[in-house]
Structures are given as structure tokens and as C-alpha cells.
Structure 1
């Protein structure tokens, strides 16, 4: 039986790095963000539906994320309309991934908003990637185009790290050496595989 591990963490916590560590260890990883990018990229499955609902937000390179963002920002109804297009398509991609890896003992669903979007109910175990607040803040503010105000606005939409950690089966630290993080990932894999075997 495949155990589904939900991998999540707030912005700047190092979730992509940890997801890559799971993949390097041979664990199949479904990246929800990458799925959205592919669906909205050139020839993506949701591009036509997004253009029909939000005219002028797509082009030859797929969805213009800036234009789409401006079309839905601050408008709950428009944002809900966008989610109604994107979420079912991502769910279909996820189901195809799970079917393709049905014989794997462990798969990882890398979902940034696992708690916020309610996806935690569809996984068997949860791993939260975490770092000290000052480390998180320094990482995010070092990103191109990021401001303190934008970072605070993103944080306000995400559950507090402490709450995520409290609900997690595993906490993977990233404010330590890469080797220490890799060891924590290996421990999670061993623990989950041990539980699956027992």
C-alpha cells in the first residue's frame, strides 16, 4: 500500500530543496506548483478556459501571470472563478501521478498550501519544512522583486509556522546544514517505510 506524504511549508522555508532531497532518494514527488505552471504554460490544458473567462490574460507563452494576477487580485469572486478552472485540472494531474506510482511504498505530494486549501485531509502523513523566522525572512527578502510589505501580505494568507508544525507528523528543519536536513529526510523515509512494512 502506498503511503501519501504531504510536504508543505510556508514561503522561504526551503520546501523545494527538501522536495528535491526526497526525489534524490528515489521517492516519487508530485509538485503542485510545477503542475500549475505546466497547465498554464504554452499549450497548457487550462489556457483556453482562462482566456475565455479572463480575456487578454494569455498569449503564445500561455498565461500571463501578471495580467491574470491583476484580473483577480482583491476580487474574491474572480479568484474563485480562477480556482474553479485550475483546481480540478491540478487534481486530475495528481490522480494521474498517484495512479502511475501506485506500486511505490511512499509518494510525496509537494503542496505549498496543504493546510490552507484543505489538502491535508487527502494525505496519510504530513511533513512540514521549517526554519527560524529570521532565516525565513532573510531568504524571502533576498528574492528578486520581493519587498517586506509583499512578504508580510503573503505570510498573512498562510497558516503560522507554529500551527503547521503542531499538526505535522514530521518537521524537517532547513535552518541547519544541508547534511542535517538530508538526514532528517532520510529519517522520515525510513520511518514511513517502516510503518508501511509493519
Structure 2
């Protein structure tokens, strides 16, 4: 039986990483696409592509400077699309290799912030969307990243809204109270295990 790929996503500050960790404690392999994308940024062939597209000013001591790249693409949808065009195919390739190593599991989880925006949700067998009230998300990110409210809102503006994501999601987790979130995770875990048997 083919291992199912379950996408896990949610807007910034929604609590998707917390949910991913809960699945991990239940023995489900979780692939953190955003963490892998950060590592891929430093591969020599990727650095070359970045210089070709964005110029050498994105480097700091010969390495890509994530802050400079972020500033460059933040309010420029074309440049953001160009960056994603370099990174996402490589993340996809890396994920395929990773998934093959976990083929004995009934399902694996691919956690990605821009699962819908990148179009990679189409490669998933089902999608779990993690949501939380906007104000709660804003305060979580401000505390976590030491950013301003405006900076958080700017980052949110680059992501799809929950209303856009919900019709394309098979499961929705409302992540407010930790205990309630854990219960929702357990229900989805049990459901996915039952349908895979």
C-alpha cells in the first residue's frame, strides 16, 4: 500500500508547528519543508542561481543573507515567485527522497507554510489546515519573533487567508487551547489510521 502524504499548513502564528510535533509524538514522520528550504538556500548550485537572478548584493561573506533576500522579495510578488521557483522544486525533490525512506508508514506529514501558495497541496492525498483567531496569531508571532504588529500583518498579506484555504482542506484544526488541539490531532490520527488499514 502506498504511503499517503498528508499536507499540514496554516498561516503564520496559527500553531501548525505545535500540531506537527503532536503528530510526531504519535509516531508519524513529519517533514518540515520550511526548515529544509532554509538549508537548500546554501547549496552551491542554489547560491549560483540566486546570484544570477538577484545579483551578488544578496550575499554576506559569500553566503546568502536571508534578511537581505527577505527584504528584496517581501513587497515584490515577481521576485518572490522567482525565489520560490528556485527553492520549491529542490524542496520537492528532497521531500520525495525523504518520503521514500518512510514508505513503511501508512502516512507521513509534510508541514509547509505556503503549501497552497506554492501549489504543492496538489501532490498531497489530504490537507490539514491549522487555524487560530487573527489577534491570537498576531500576538503569538510578535512574542515569538520580537516583531511589530505591522510586520506580522505584512507577512500575513503574502499568505492566503483561511477562507481561501478551507475549501481545499480535508481537515481543519482550531488551535487555541492546547488540550482541545491535542484531541483534534488524536481524532485525525485515528481516522487516518483506520482508513489506511
Structure 1 match to 2:106: 105
TM-score (norm 2): 0.87
- Evaluate the alpha carbon distance shift between residue 30 and residue 144 of structure 1 in structure 2; reply closer, same or farther with a 3 A threshold: closer
Structure 2 match to 1:156: 157
Structure 2 match to 1:49: 49
| Structure 2, unpaired ranges of 5+ | none
Q: Is the 8 A contact 2:13 2:141 kept in 1?
A: yes
- SS of equivalent to 1:56: helix
Cα displacement string for residues 15-54 of structure 1 (whole angstroms, at most 9, x for unaligned residues)? 111111111211111111011111124x566234323443
Structure 2 match to 1:19: 20
TM-score (norm 1): 0.87
Q: Is the 8 A contact 1:39 1:45 kept in 2?
A: no
**Count of residue pairs the alignment pairs up:** 195
Task: Note the C-alpha offset of 1:157.
Answer: 2.3
| Structure 1, unpaired ranges of 5+ | none
Structure 2 match to 1:78: 79
Alpha-carbon separation, structure 1, partners of 2:16 and 2:150: 22
Pairwise CA RMSD: 2.1
User: Which is worse superposed, 124-133 or 156-165?
Assistant: 156-165
Task: Note the C-alpha offset of 1:60.
Answer: 5.4
Cα displacement string for residues 88-121 of structure 1 (whole angstroms, at most 9, x for unaligned residues)? 2111111111111122101001011112222221
* Mapping of residues 48-197 of structure 1, within 5 Å: 48-53=48-53, 54-59=55-60, 62-176=63-177, 178-197=178-197
Alpha-carbon separation, structure 2, partners of 1:137 and 1:25: 29
Cα displacement string for residues 142-171 of structure 1 (whole angstroms, at most 9, x for unaligned residues)? 233422222222222222223323432111
Q: Is the 8 A contact 1:125 1:169 kept in 2?
A: yes
